[in-house]
């Protein structure tokens, strides 16, 4: 595995990015070999349930979540990234309200799949983030086994030349690819496992992966990410930036930085990556407050709900981290929130999230712009819940 201080990574942090790191007195640290990270975590100790807190959009968030629960019994959700994003939003809502209904829905989904799910690529890692979050309050044995299986997979997953965890995993071990989706899908798991066990190697591994992905895929001029690394080259080759994919990165990095100690050796390097992507996001916001499905091509495609929700939440968190001007962030967040509210309509007497683009693979401008949109998609609902449950 190459260190993150390789020539490519050094090129990745010129001028503004490197200046941001050096101003904070921290240099990017070398990657620790993965084999040295494996150790038995300390015993899980159940914690207290979260204390409810007030938040502005509680009524709407409950309407959206309750409508999903009424339409979709937990056992109908498969073990994959889309339901994982939905569960992430549900658990955010549980943590905000203390309402057991939302936690129990996710627990029922986890129990339905316990011991029977595949663990073969990043998209099957994502649901384990819910297991790690749920285990904070129960230390349930089936949840802990899910966590163990997932960590074991990440330890052995195929890697690119630079050490990035291949998105397609065991589906394509001979030619690993990086997809920016992975930074949310396995990143949410590593974040939650690190919190559960107070286990530094989880956060070390995730920070290293962020810097590897950024060195390969983050555009130096805009701060935005291309979708994938295919055959060790960024794809798309031209500067085409898929909205929801960049939303995955911006959102999860802002969440990671909110729990990563500032004295962590990679904190300021990760913060530099997040600052640059947030600058790029703010520069591409549409006057409506939303973002286009290809953020730098408002001439094609459509305004897209899930990307808008992910970006808006990331911008608010970025301001709290000091990465974005507070006034600029508040204005952008407010406009985006209005746009998302307008995308939530009533159908069959229930709140319905509209305007979410379909599942997306790496492609070109015409491919992204031509993807159909639909209503009531799990990952779209989950992204909206992430936004609505914010403080």
Cα-only R_g, the chain: 19
Give the pLDDT band (50/70/90) at residue 283: very high
Mean pLDDT of 4-11: 46
Of 340, 344, 281, 2, nearest to 160 by C-alpha is 2
In angstroms, the CA 183 to CA 167 distance is 9
**Structure confidence at residue 39 (pLDDT):** 61
Share of the chain above pLDDT 90, in %: 87
pLDDT class of 199 with cuts at 50, 70, 90: confident
Residue 214, pLDDT > 70, answer yes
**Residue 391: what pLDDT?**
81
Strand-pair partners of 350: 347
Residue range 49-56: mean pLDDT, rounded: 94
* Confidence check: pLDDT of 21 > 60: no
Give the model's confidence band at 80: pLDDT under 50 very low, under 70 low, under 90 confident, else very high: very high
Predicted pLDDT at 162: 98
Burial pattern 67-93, b for ≥16 Cβ within 10 A else e, equals bbeeebebeebebbbbbbbbbbbbbbb
* pLDDT recorded at residue 6: 41
Separation of alpha carbons 202 and 277, rounded Å? 23
Residue 5 pLDDT more than 80?
no
pLDDT exceeds 70 at position 15: no
Give the per-residue pLDDT at 43. 86
Give the pLDDT confidence score for residue 41 in this predicted structure.
Answer: 79
Bridge partners of 346?
A: 351
Q: pLDDT tens across 120-143, in order?
A: 999 999 999 999 999 999 999 999
**What is the pLDDT at residue 19?**
36
- Mean pLDDT of the 15-35 span: 39
pLDDT band at 31 (very low <50, low <70, confident <90, very high): very low
Query: In whole angstroms, what is the distance from residue 289 CA to residue 333 CA?
Result: 8
CA 32 vs CA 29, 83, 207, 267: distances in Å: 9, 32, 11, 15
pLDDT at residue 1 greater than cutoff 50: no
Angle at 267 between CA 326 and CA 216, to 5 degrees: 100
Mean pLDDT of the 347-357 span: 98
User: What is the spatial distance between Cα 245 and Cα 229, in angstroms, rounded to a whole number?
Assistant: 13
Average pLDDT, stretch 341-348? 98
* 174/5: higher pLDDT: 174
Given a cut of 80, whether residue 22 has pLDDT beyond it is no
Q: What is the mean pLDDT of the chain?
A: 91
Q: How confident is the model over 147-191, as pLDDT tens digits?
A: 999 999 999 999 999 999 999 999 999 999 999 999 999 999 999
**For 285-331, what is each residue's pLDDT tens digit?**
999 999 999 999 999 999 999 999 999 999 999 999 999 999 999 99
Parallel, antiparallel, or unpaired: how do β-strands 233-235 and 344-347 relate?
Answer: unpaired
pLDDT of residue 33: 47
Is the model's pLDDT at 16 over the cut of 50? Answer: no
pLDDT score of 42: 80
CB 349 within 8 A of CB 54: no
**pLDDT of 37 above 80:** no
């Amino acid at each position: 595995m190459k260190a993150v201080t390789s020539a490519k990574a050094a090129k990745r942090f010129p001028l503004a990015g490197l200046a941001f790191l050096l101003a904070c007195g921290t240099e990017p640290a070398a990657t620790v070999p993965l084999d040295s990270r494996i150790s038995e975590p300390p015993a899980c100790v159940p914690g207290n349930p979260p204390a409810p807190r007030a938040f502005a959009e509680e009524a709407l968030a409950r309407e959206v979540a309750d409508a999903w629960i009424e339409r979709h019994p937990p056992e109908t959700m498969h073990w994959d990234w889309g339901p994982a994003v939905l569960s992430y939003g549900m658990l955010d809502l549980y943590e905000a309200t203390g309402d057991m209904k939302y936690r129990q829905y996710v627990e029922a989904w986890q129990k339905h799949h316990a011991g029977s799910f595949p663990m073969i690529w990043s998209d099957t890692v994502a649901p384990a983030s819910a297991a790690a979050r749920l285990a904070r309050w129960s230390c349930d044995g089936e949840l802990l086994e899910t966590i163990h299986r997932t960590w074991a997979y990440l330890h052995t997953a195929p890697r690119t030349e630079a050490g990035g965890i291949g998105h397609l995993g065991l589906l394509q071990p001979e030619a690993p690819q990086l997809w920016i989706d992975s930074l949310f899908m396995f990143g949410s798991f590593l974040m939650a496992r690190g919190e559960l066990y107070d286990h530094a190697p989880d956060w070390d591994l995730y920070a290293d992966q962020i810097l590897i992905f950024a060195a390969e895929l983050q555009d130096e001029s805009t701060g935005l990410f291309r979708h994938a690394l295919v055959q060790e080259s960024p794809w798309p080759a031209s500067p085409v930036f898929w909205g929801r994919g960049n939303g995955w990165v911006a959102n999860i990095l802002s969440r990671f930085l909110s729990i990563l100690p500032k004295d962590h050796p990679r904190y300021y390097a990760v913060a530099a990556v997040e600052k640059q992507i947030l600058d790029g996001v703010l520069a591409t916001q549409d006057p409506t407050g939303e973002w286009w499905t290809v953020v730098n091509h408002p001439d094609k495609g459509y305004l897209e709900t899930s990307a808008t929700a992910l970006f808006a939440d990331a911008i608010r968190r970025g301001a709290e981290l000091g990465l974005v001007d507070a006034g600029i962030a508040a204005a952008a967040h407010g406009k985006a929130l209005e746009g998302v509210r307008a995308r939530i309509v009533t159908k069959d007497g229930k709140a319905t999230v509209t305007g979410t683009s379909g599942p997306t693979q790496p492609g070109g401008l015409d491919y992204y712009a031509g993807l159909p949109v639909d209503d009531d998609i799990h990952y779209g609902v989950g992204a909206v819940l992430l936004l609505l449950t914010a403080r």
